[in-house]
Every structure is written in C-alpha cells, then in structure tokens.
Amino acid sequence: MTYHNEHRKIKPALDLARKYDIASNPDPQALFEAGSGGFQVWCTPEDHPTGWDEIRMYSGAFAKPCEYVGSVNWRWEEEIIIGLDIETDAYALRDQQPRRYPGYRSVVNRTADLVWLMEKVAWLFEKAGMSLPPIYYEEAQPSVMEE
C-alpha cells in the first residue's frame, strides 16, 4: 500500500465532510471542516454535546453560529490507516465558564464531548457508505468539575 492508496480508501468520508462544511453549508448537519489528514467537528446551538446549553455561539466566518468541539485524524501504522484518532477540546466551556472548567485539562476529552463527537463521526461514515474504522482517544483526566 501507499499513502495515496490509503487516502483513496478514506476519500468518501472526506468528500462528505467537505459537502457538509460548516463554513459554507447552512444545513443543520453541516458540522465539519475537512483537511487532508482528517477533519474537525463543530457544534451549533441546536446540536451540541451535553453541558453546552449555556454556551453562546457566533457565526464569525462560518455559515451559522458554532463552536469547535474536536478533531478526527487518521491513525497510521506504517503506511496503512488503521483507525481514527479523536480528541475534543471544549475551550468554549473553559472560556465562558472558567469557574466550572478551570484550566486546559478540564475541557479535553470530556465524556459528553467524546460521545457526541463519536456520534457525528459514525453518522458521517454511515452516510458515506463506509464501515466505521476503530476509534482511539486518550482518557480524560478526572476533574472534580466534570459532570
């Protein structure tokens, strides 16, 4: 296998992420921002992880109000994509609720954010007609503030 062949295997999911690009598509399911090695996932006031109800969101350069939730990158072993690495960083929670979420680690890979992100990734791969590759993530550090 070559890197090119591996990228071709993942192309349907990446093409669909580009179709459902949050920057240009106002569709409620358009929550993605594609790159060459994966994609980012954003949430909206109508579709977000548990615990985000009070978070203010703005459209800025995007097609609708949103906030960043996490990223999905290809996990490589040698020259083969063996799965997906996911990570969440709910910095909007930290920025808007600093007493509840103090410090960087308090908002990285929160359980609610990981569950929501995995649902969006599973939807994308299913809609692209692809089997969902194994998903890998780092366990969050326990926080007394986490729900």
CB 73 within 8 Å of CB 38:
yes
Domain boundary assignment for the chain: 3-136
Model pTM?
A: 0.90
Q: Which helix (H) or strand (E) holds 122?
A: helix 111-127
Comparing CA positions, the residue from 114, 102, 111, 92 lying closest to residue 145 is: 102
Neighbours of 9 (CB within 10 A): 14
So what's the pLDDT on residue 32?
A: 98
pLDDT digits (tens, 9 = 90+) for 67-126: 999 999 999 988 888 999 999 999 999 999 999 998 888 899 999 999 999 999 999 999
